[in-house]
Amino acid sequence: MDIRIFLFLIAATSLETFGDAIVRMGIGQTAWLPRTALFLAGAVFLFGYGLSLNLAPIEFGRVVGLYIATLFIMWQVVNLIVFRSLPGMPVLFGGLLIVVGGLIVTFWE
């Protein structure tokens, strides 16, 4: 698999997960200015996710398994960075299944 495809996946999942985290932070705001700013920032990140994913140099159906696996890992990284929350054993075990399944879907020919 071309390294460019993996870089697109990292970019798309980073934008998606950080965009989601920013929107979640905006929901927790009560003042309209920070809430609006966070919502707008989250929207920009989520638009960037959609754009980067659709500009990837490969058909999405070919990498969907790897995308889901990468997305799961990125969600855990963002959850740790932004919300200081470590995943528990069920999340780690389920995540292992997601990653293994994603690799099977992507590379089993």
Nearest to 73 by CA among 3, 16, 4: 16
d(CA 40, CA 23): 8
Locate the domains of the chain by residue range: 3-107
pLDDT band of residue 6 (cuts 50, 70, 90) is confident
User: Which percentage of the chain shows pLDDT scores above 90?
Assistant: 68
- DSSP 8-state code for residue 56: S
Measured CA to CA, the distance from residue 12 to residue 54 in angstroms comes to 9
- pTM here is 0.85
What's the confidence (pLDDT) of residue 1? Answer: 65
Which tens digit of pLDDT belongs to each residue from 62-96?
788 889 999 999 999 999 999 999 999 999 999 99
pLDDT for 53 beyond 70: yes
